Amino acid sequence: MRIEGARALVCGGASGLGAATARRLHAGGAHVTIADIDAERGAALGEELGAQFVACDVTDPAQVDEAVIAARADGVLRIAVTCAGIGWAEKTAGRNGPHGVEPFHRVVAVNLLGSFHLLRAAGAAMLRNEPDAADECGVIVMTASIAAYDGQIGQIAYAASKGGVVGMTLPAARDLAGSRIRVCTIAPGLFDTPLLAGLPEEARAALGAQVPHPARLGHPDEYAALAAHIVENPMLNGEVVRLDGALRMPPR
């Protein structure tokens, strides 16, 4: 799939991995639409890039549908990436009782259901596309985490939500393959994103030192580079790619 000239939607595109991806696709010549619940940051990035911004809460399927419609405009949507996500730390049960129900539901609603909402809406829009010169109609990239495989103590909600995204990848790719639409997922390790921004620098450095090589936190533009490669490489389909510097997370 050629990035140049394609219409692309990035959900969760106002900051972190999503913002880096929006910048990378824009630099490649795509017509990018940024969708995010953070209107201030999203609008600022849209103005910086000369890109369209739409306010979107990914937990609301109607808002995701509207973002897809806005991204299509009078053309065809070829690329969709979802990076919206939140974290939560709490044990399954502890001295204060069982894990809270509301935070578990909220994490699943944003990370898993939000990904599903974009997957279904973007897939339906891409079904209408005519194949391009490479015989492709669209590419969808979702974001999981190595926590889907190596969930740590206190990560039951986060690991469950990201494991669900991993589990959707292959059946979604199979569902859409006959319509020439590819689906892949990136599972990042420890990346320098807003999820880690609140930690002291010493703690951030210690986290980065756990990575075998390179021994540092990942840069959002490294995620964006892989997202762009997935778009451009027609043989990448139904795959979950770990982007973690060979990191395997310990229990804590």
CA geometry: angle at 191 spanning 186 and 192, to 5°? Answer: 140
For 177, which DSSP code? H
What lies within 8 Å, CB to CB, of 152 at 6+ separation is 159, 249, 250, 251, 252
What lies within 8 Å, CB to CB, of 124 at 6+ separation is none
Catalytic residue (one of 104, 116, 158, 191): 158
Locate all alpha helices (DSSP H) within 109-193, ordered by sequence. 114-126, 147-150, 156-177
Cβ neighbourhood burial of 223 (10 Å; 0-12, 13-18, 19+): buried
Rounded CA-CA distance 119/21 in Å is 17
Closest by CA to 132, choosing from 81, 73, 180, 80, is 180
Q: Is 149 a catalytic residue?
A: no
Specify whether the CB–CB gap between 77 and 31 falls below 8 A.
no
Residue entry with tokens 């206190």: 154
Q: What are phi and psi of 103, to 5 degrees?
A: -65, -35
Catalytic residues: 158
